Amino acid sequence: MTATRTVRIGSSHGLHARPAKLFAQAAKDSGIAVTIAKDSGKAVNAASILGVIALAIEFGDYVTLTADGENAEGVLDTLTELLTTDHDQESAG
């Protein structure tokens, strides 16, 4: 099963090192193939922290997630929550 979702980035500094690492780790831990693309750009492996950082995703950008495998919707729910949370705000607290 394949699921796709478009998400707006909530981290005030975008997907830099810490949020990108959290996101890539969660994508990897899902055990299924997940890609992320910025706007209409090329999709990259969401489990690759370097690939994710290379997209230079900023606060407010829209990204498209695609998951392919069992529980694809559930995986996208988890990843969407990570992307819409402002991790920079949490660490500043």
Active site residues: 16
54-60 long-range Cβ contacts below 8 angstroms, 24+ apart: 55/15, 56/14, 57/9, 57/14, 57/15, 58/9, 58/14, 59/9, 59/10, 59/11, 59/12, 59/13, 59/14, 60/8, 60/9
